[in-house]
């Protein structure tokens, strides 16, 4: 893992590289615009470009890093935005005036009286707006980096929830294999005519199996005694179906009644044993369930079926995934060619997970993502404004300075930006801050009272 110092050095090097590229780009642009093709004039242009890029670009980058260390972009968005706006505007104005003083007074040798003349005032304004565009780029970059890191973290939590629910769903789908159901119904049909009393017992046990599946399917853990009782009922069904071709041993008691297990895991293992092995009177399937060293072990002899083909291990992977989500203990699988043993960890509680599927859609995370999208649109709008408006001013003053038409798009677009910012912060200029939420709550309370 990289240290914070190494990350800071890497970010600083990246910012220096960006400022160097900006120096080259703007230097070439102004050399062409001002036709400064001599070595001396071109050198001055690139010097001024470097002053703008490094003083404003790198300075705002360092300022951005400092502010980000004080206020988090995701959890303290309002404080971070306002601190960035105020400090960036103040720093940019001071930096631009200082650069222009060095450029026009110290280097070019102009008199101090021309520093606040009309032409230089427009040059100050042009440089400030353009610099704010560069500063906005650095702030937007920092915001996106922090937002992506936050989304990645939240996505990891959501993946835990999604995997849990997916594992439960896959377990439910795999439980009570359709072939088992059809075969059980066939057995029941034959028993009704041959042995009505046995058919009644079979129907009772089959209903218990399905009732247990429906009751336990959404639980993370169930008491071990309940799962063992279910496994016993399930194996009795198999015995009624296969008669003496199936033999089983299930303990009546466990060392600690508080121990728990993933629901329906035993049924899946028992069904797999029947599915992958020959079950006949000459080659009976023998299944043993016993407790050992903090694990519940399910062991069966191996008589593989030839026609079934290679196992996909979906059922075992399903159980292992479910245990992996709720505990640090692993499911152990042992195949010595004679017996197949699966060891399930016995637990007392599930690993704590910060989010659940029930509150996922209604969580504040969804609102945060929507707000981040709006913030991203606002920053894109602000960057476009800070890039386009200076060029409109430049074109206007270079072509026809008597009519200053650039004020119209600058003011109109600026008003739009202000309303865009107010919208992000849920502020209505007439109704106040958070008026939508307050009105929604008021209407909900009114409906609840009427109801």
Provide the token pair at 168. 């439960």
Measuring CA to CA, which residue among 344, 337, 221, 222 is closest to residue 292? 344
Provide the token pair at 170. 């896959």
Q: Are 340 and 313 in contact (CB under 8 A)?
A: no
Q: Which residues contact 316 (CB under 8 A, 6 or more apart)?
A: 272, 331, 333, 342
Strand-pair partners of 347: 260
CA dihedral 111, 113, 117, 121 (to 10 degrees): 80
Distance CA 401, CA 378 (A): 31
| Full pLDDT tens readout for the chain, 451 residues | 445 555 567 667 777 887 788 788 878 887 887 777 788 888 888 888 888 778 877 787 788 778 778 887 667 777 877 887 888 888 888 888 888 888 888 888 888 877 777 777 777 787 788 777 767 766 666 666 666 666 666 665 566 565 555 555 555 545 555 556 666 777 777 777 777 888 888 888 888 877 877 777 667 788 888 889 888 888 888 888 888 888 888 888 888 888 888 888 888 888 888 888 888 888 888 999 999 888 999 999 988 887 655 555 666 777 787 787 777 788 888 888 889 999 999 888 766 444 444 444 444 444 565 666 677 777 877 888 888 888 778 777 777 667 677 787 788 788 878 877 777 776 655 555 566 666 666 766 676 566 4
Distance CA 289, CA 249 (A): 6
Q: How far is CA 175 from CA 94, 102, 210, in A?
A: 71, 79, 10
What's the confidence (pLDDT) of residue 1? 45
Q: Which residues contact 321 (CB under 8 A, 6 or more apart)?
A: 163, 167
Provide the token pair at 134. 């560069």
Strand-pair partners of 427: 433
Q: Are 77 and 371 in contact (CB under 8 A)?
A: yes
Sign of CA dihedral 344, 347, 353, 356: positive
CATH topology for the 175-345 domain:
Heat Shock Protein 90 (3.30.565)
What's the confidence (pLDDT) of residue 211? 81
Sign of CA dihedral 335, 340, 341, 342: positive
Q: Where are the domains of the chain?
A: 4-157+368-450, 175-345
Distance CA 174, CA 267 (A): 10
Q: Which residues contact 113 (CB under 8 A, 6 or more apart)?
A: none
- The single-letter DSSP state of residue 311 is -
SS3 432: strand
Residue 297's φ and ψ, nearest 5 degrees, are -100, 135
- The single-letter DSSP state of residue 277 is B
């Amino acid at each position: 893992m990289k240290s914070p110092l190494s990350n800071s050095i890497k970010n600083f090097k990246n910012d220096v590289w960006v400022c160097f590229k900006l120096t080259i780009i703007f230097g070439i642009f102004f050399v062409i615009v001002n036709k400064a093709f001599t070595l001396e004039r071109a050198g001055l242009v690139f010097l001024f470009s470097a002053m703008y890029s490094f003083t404003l670009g790198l300075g705002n980058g360092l300022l951005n890093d400092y502010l980000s260390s004080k206020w988090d972009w995701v959890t303290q968005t309002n404080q971070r935005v306002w601190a960035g706006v105020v400090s960036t505007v103040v720093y940019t104005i001071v930096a631009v005036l200082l650069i222009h003083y060095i450029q026009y007074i110290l280097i070019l040798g102009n008199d101090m009286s021309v520093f606040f003349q009309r032409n230089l005032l427009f040059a100050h304004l042009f440089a400030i707006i353009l610099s704010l565009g560069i500063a906005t780029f650095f702030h937007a970059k920092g915001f996106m980096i922090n937002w992506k890191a936050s989304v990645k973290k939240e996505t990891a939590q959501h993946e835990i929830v999604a995997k849990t629910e997916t594992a439960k769903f896959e377990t439910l789908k795999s439980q009570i294999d359709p072939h088992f159901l059809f075969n059980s119904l066939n057995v029941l049909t034959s028993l009704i005519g041959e042995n009505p009393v046995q058919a009644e017992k079979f129907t009772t046990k089959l209903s218990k199996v399905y009732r247990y599946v429906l009751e336990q399917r959404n639980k993370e853990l169930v008491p071990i005694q309940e799962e063992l009782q279910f496994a016993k009922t399930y194996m009795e069904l198999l015995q009624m179906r296969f008669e003496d071709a199936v033999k089983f041993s299930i303990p009546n008691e466990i060392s600690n009644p508080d121990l728990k297990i993933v629901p329906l895991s035993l049924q899946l293992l028992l069904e797999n044993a029947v599915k992958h092995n020959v079950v006949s009177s000459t080659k009976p399937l023998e299944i043993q369930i016993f407790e050992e060293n903090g694990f519940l072990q399910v062991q069966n002899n191996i008589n593989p079926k030839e026609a079934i083909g290679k196992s996909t291990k979906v059922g075992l992977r399903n159980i292992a995934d479910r245990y992996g989500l709720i505990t640090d203990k692993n499911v152990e699988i042992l195949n010595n060619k004679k017996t197949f043993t699966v060891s399930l960890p016995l637990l007392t509680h599930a690993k704590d997970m910060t989010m659940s599927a029930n509150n996922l859609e209604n969580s504040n995370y969804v609102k945060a993502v929507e707000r981040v999208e709006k913030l991203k649109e606002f920053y894109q709008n602000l960057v476009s404004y800070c890039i386009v408006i200076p060029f409109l001013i430049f074109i206007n003053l270079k072509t026809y300075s008597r009519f200053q038409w650039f004020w119209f798009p600058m003011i109109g677009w600026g008003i739009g930006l202000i309303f865009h910012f107010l919208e992000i912060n849920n502020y209505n200029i007439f109704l106040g801050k958070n008026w939508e939420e307050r009105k929604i709550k008021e209407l909900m309370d009114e409906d609840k009272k009427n109801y």
